[in-house]
């Protein structure tokens, strides 16, 4: 991969993804797969004006050993030094970058029941710090090819060629393969803005989603809910792009108001394992049944993590002819696969998808239909024949998607 193109990608992440401003502190979470590229990103953050850039390295095989050998009590205790890090970040959190590269199968074989219990125990300890930074800092998720991930996606290639192929498809689907990715993203954000404005002007009460594979679901929307997509803003008005790539226009539906069944059209990577060929049935606004050819026990564990885990937190509309779908590549990674087709998310909803959300407390937003949960897990349901119809309060129906793509 040409160094100049990787530098453009690094600059895109720093300037458009995070939109680093002078004097800001940047925290980067990354694996050990592409240290040279992470170094490029660090330099681009400094060039954008960052005063400090900290990199927190991780390594999935070490994390797996930790989950196997450490006790529940050890894993679920927030160590004093970990708490001190959270306290520091709650004050100094300006920008946070997550660089994904992990093996989709890297945590196979661990005790998922134990790790779910650990997550439940840690959640109330971490939650106050998360709330302290929510909507107050810029953040972005981007990706680089880890060797194991690349081999999963391109199993017929050697490790070296698989990584090269992975770089090519990441850059192309992230709109970072041209001479001016920043300009390309400006145009892309403008298109998403127009689609959000159109949907928000309709005043929809429900979305009906149907596909030939059996998906047939009706989702109620929040009365004061709004569709978002592309760039976002912090409470202080700092613009950033949380996902590179992104193709979605999304909203948070009314919690506890969905009926029907959906069939996943792509595998779901959750907790380092794959859940494949699965369906989710909703009655009375929550999950009442799940089935899966692979990973069914893990799926059942996921939807029972807490009271809100079996309710919807997001519905996202993505055209089937998106660059990721057209690539023909199955990434086994939610960042990419969720942007190949329409998807839903179980668990936590987005406060920012409620009009004037900053004026309400968390309790008020929950009462108004924003789901609360310790999880937020996206899974893909869009197909080539997916039809989405919006329904207004007066019963008027508006075609949103036809044959998998935008109808407007």
Q: What per-residue confidence (pLDDT) applies to 68?
A: 96
Whole-angstrom distance, CA of residue 363 vs CA of residue 397: 33
347 CB-contact burial (10 Å; exposed 0-12 / middle 13-18 / buried 19+): buried
**Where residue 98 falls among pLDDT bands split at 50, 70, 90?**
very high
Percent of the chain with pLDDT over 90: 93
Locate the domains of the chain by residue range: 3-173, 181-228+244-406
DSSP state letters, 133-144: HTTTSEEEEEE-
Among the ranges given (7-16, 43-52, 186-195, 321-330), the one the predictor scored with the smallest mean pLDDT: 321-330
Q: Are 377 and 345 in contact (CB under 8 A)?
A: yes
Q: What is the tens place of the pLDDT at every residue in 225-252?
A: 999 999 999 999 999 999 999 999 999 9
Let me know if domain 3-173 sits in CATH 1.10.10.1150.
Answer: no
Q: What is the mean pLDDT of the chain?
A: 95
Whole-angstrom distance, CA of residue 333 vs CA of residue 28: 19
**Where residue 272 falls among pLDDT bands split at 50, 70, 90?**
confident
Q: What is the tens place of the pLDDT at every residue in 335-353?
A: 999 899 899 999 999 999 9
What pTM does this model have?
0.90
Cis bond leading into 245, ω under 30°? yes
Element (H, E) at 40: helix 35-47
**Where residue 93 falls among pLDDT bands split at 50, 70, 90?**
confident
Residue 1, pLDDT > 80, answer no
Whole-angstrom distance, CA of residue 302 vs CA of residue 345: 12
The tokens describing 67, both together, are 């989950």
Q: What is the tens place of the pLDDT at every residue in 106-142?
A: 999 999 899 999 999 999 999 999 888 888 999 999 9
Q: Are 98 and 29 in contact (CB under 8 A)?
A: yes
């Amino acid at each position: 991969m040409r160094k100049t193109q990787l530098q453009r990608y690094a600059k895109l992440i720093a300037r458009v993804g995070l939109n680093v401003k002078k004097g800001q502190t940047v925290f980067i979470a990354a694996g050990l797969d592409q240290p040279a590229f992470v170094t490029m990103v660090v330099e681009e953050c400094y060039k954008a004006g960052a005063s400090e850039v900290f990199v927190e390295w991780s390594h999935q095989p070490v994390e797996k050993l930790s989950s196997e050998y450490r006790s529940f009590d050890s894993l679920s205790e927030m160590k004093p030094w970990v708490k001190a890090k959270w306290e520091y970040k709650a004050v100094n959190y300006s920008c946070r970058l997550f660089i994904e590269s992990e093996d989709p199968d890297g945590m196979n074989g661990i005790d998922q029941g134990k790790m779910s219990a650990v997550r439940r125990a840690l959640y109330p300890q971490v939650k106050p710090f998360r709330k302290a930074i929510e909507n107050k800092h810029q953040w972005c998720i981007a990706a680089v090819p880890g060797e194991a991930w690349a081999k999963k996606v391109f199993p017929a290639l050697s490790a070296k060629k698989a990584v090269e192929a992975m770089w090519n498809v990441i850059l192309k689907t992230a709109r970072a393969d041209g001479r001016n990715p920043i300009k390309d993203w400006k145009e892309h954000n403008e298109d998403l803005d127009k689609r959000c404005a159109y949907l928000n002007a309709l005043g929809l009460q429900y979305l009906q989603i149907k596909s030939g594979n059996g998906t047939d679901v009706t989702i109620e929307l929040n009365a004061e809910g709004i569709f978002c997509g592309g760039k976002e803003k912090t409470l202080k008005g700092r613009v950033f792009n949380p996902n590179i790539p992104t193709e979605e226009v999304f909203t948070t539906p009314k919690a506890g108001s969905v009926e029907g069944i959906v069939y996943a059209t792509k595998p779901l990577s959750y907790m380092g394992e794959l859940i494949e060929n699965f369906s989710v049935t909703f009655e009375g606004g929550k999950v009442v049944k799940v089935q899966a050819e692979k990973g069914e026990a893990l799926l059942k564990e996921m939807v029972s993590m807490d009271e809100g885990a079996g309710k919807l937190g997001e519905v996202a509309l993505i055209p089937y002819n998106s660059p990721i779908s057209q690539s023909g590549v199955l990434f086994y990674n939610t960042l990419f696969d969720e942007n190949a087709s329409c998807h839903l998310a179980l668990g936590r909803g987005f406060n920012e998808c409620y009009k004037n959300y900053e004026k309400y407390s968390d309790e008020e937003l929950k009462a108004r239909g924003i789901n609360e949960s310790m999880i937020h897990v996206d899974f893909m349901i869009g197909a080539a024949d997916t039809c989405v119809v919006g329904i207004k309060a007066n019963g008027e129906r508006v075609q949103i998607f036809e044959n998998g793509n935008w109808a407007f």
